[in-house]
Chain A
Amino acid sequence: MKNILAVVLPLVLTMGGAVNAGSPVAPFESSSEFRLQGRIDELVLSRLNQLNIAPANSCSDAVFLRRVFLDVTGTLPTPEEARQFLGDNDPDKRRKLVDQLLERDQYVDYWTMKWCDLLRVKSEFPINLWPNAVQAYHRWIRTCIRENLPYDKFAREMLTASGSNFRKPQVNFYRAMQSREPQAVAQAVALTFMGVRPASWPKERWSGMTPFFSQIAYKPTLEWKEEIVLFDQDKAASEEATGTLKAAVFPDGTPARLEPGRDPRAAFADWLITPKNEWFARNMANRVWYWLLGRGIVNPPDDVRPDNPPGNPELLAYLELELVSSGYDLKHLVRLVLNSSTYQRSHISTTEDPKGEENFACYPLRRIEAEVMIDAICQITGTTEQYSSIIPEPFTFMPEAQRAVALADASITSPFLEKFGRSSRDSGLESDRNNRPTASQRLHLLNSSHIRRKFETSPKLQPLLRSNDMKREEVISQLYLTILSRFPTDEELKTLDTYSKTGGRGSSARDLAWALVNCPEFSYRH
Chain B
Amino acid sequence: MNKSQSPHTLTRRDALARGLAGAAGLLMARPPAMIAPTMGSEAQPALGGKAKSVIQIWAAGGPSHLDTFDPKPEAGNDYCGPLNKPISTNVEGIRISQLFPMLAKQADKFSIIRSMTHGNNGHETVSYLTQTGRRPGDRLVYPCVGAVVSLFKGFDAGYKGMIPPYVVLTETQGRFSEAGFLGPRCQPFATGGDPAQQRFMVEGVTSQGVTDQQQQARRELLRKLDTLGATAKGNPALTAFYESEEQAYDMILGDGAKAFDLSREKPELRTRYGHPTWSETAMLRFGQTCLAARRLVERGVPYITINYGGWDTHTDNFRAMQQKLPELDQGLATLLEDLAERGLLDSTVVWWCGEFGRTPKIDWQAPWNGGRGHFGNVFSAVVAGGGFQGGRVVGASDSRGEEVKDRPVYPCDLLGSIYQQLGIDPDGPLPNPLGQALTVTPAAADGIPMAGRLKEIM
Contacts and interface: CB of A to CB of B under 8 A. Distances in A.
A97 interface: no
A507 to B, nearest CB: 8
7 contacts: A28-B228, A300-B29, A365-B237, A415-B172, A418-B172, A419-B184, A436-B185
B184 A436 contact: yes
B211 interface: no
Interface stretch (A151-159, A310-318, A371-379, A442-450): A442-450
A442 B203 contact: no
A27 B225 CA distance: 13
Given A443-B203, A447-B252, A438 B187 contact: yes
B139 A431 contact: no
Contact of B218 (A25, A413, A515, A520): A515
7 shortest A-B CB distances, which residue pairs? A443-B204, A439-B247, A442-B248, A521-B228, A434-B183, A448-B204, A437-B244
A424 interface: yes
Interface in B163-214: 164, 171-172, 174-177, 181, 183-185, 187, 189-190, 192, 201, 203-205, 207-208, 210
Given A178-B139, A521-B227, 8 more contacts: A352-B234, A364-B237, A415-B171, A415-B192, A511-B217, A511-B218, A519-B226, A521-B229
Given A27-B227, A519-B228, A415 B190 contact: yes
Interface in A491-525: 491-492, 495-496, 499, 502-503, 511-512, 514-516, 518-521, 523-524
Contacts of A366: 237
Nearest to B208: A449
Given A427-B140, A446-B252, A489 B227 contact: yes
A419 B164 CA distance: 14
A184 interface: yes
Interface stretch (B20-28, B85-93, B285-293, B332-340): B20-28
B125 interface: yes
B237 A452 contact: no
B365 interface: no
Contact of A125 (B26, B172, B176, B241): B176
Interface string B60-73: 00000000000000
A514 B208 CA distance: 16
Contact of A179 (B23, B138, B174): B138
B237 A125 contact: no
A421 B23 CA distance: 12
A502 B434 contact: no
A223 interface: no
Interface in A368-414: 390, 413
Given A390-B175, A434-B183, A526-B228, A198 B139 contact: yes
Contacts of A437: 240-241, 243-244
B229 A178 contact: no
A182 interface: no
A197 interface: yes
B217 A503 contact: yes
Contacts of A452: 207
B227 A429 contact: no
Tier of interface size on chain A: 35 or more
Contacts of B277: none
Interface string B227-246: 11101101101101101110
B172 A442 contact: no
A449 B203 contact: yes
A353 interface: no
B22 A434 contact: yes
A307 interface: yes
A496 B217 CA distance: 12
Nearest to A424: B177
A439 B218 contact: no
B436 A199 contact: yes
A307 B34 CA distance: 12
Given A436-B183, A520-B226, A178 B232 contact: no
B251 interface: yes
B124 A427 contact: no
Given A126-B136, A436-B184, A442-B244, A450 B221 contact: no
Given A125-B136, A184-B139, A418-B172, A444 B204 contact: yes
A515 B224 CA distance: 10
Given A125-B175, A426-B141, A495-B221, A449 B244 contact: no
A443 B185 contact: no
B435 interface: yes
Nearest to A187: B139
Contacts of B367: none
Nearest to B250: A439
A382 B203 CA distance: 22
A420 B177 CA distance: 12
Contacts of B176: 125-126
A515 B25 CA distance: 30
A496 B222 CA distance: 11
Contact of A518 (B137, B190, B201, B222): B222
Contacts of B192: 415, 448
Interface in A1-56: 25, 27-28
B164 A440 contact: yes
A348 B231 CA distance: 7
Nearest to B206: A447
A444 B247 contact: no
B395 interface: no
Q: Name the residue in A28, A352, A421, A514 with the highest tally of chain B Cβ atoms < 10 Å from its Cβ.
A: A421
B276 interface: no
A348 B230 CA distance: 10
A436 to B, nearest CB: 6
A429 B433 contact: yes
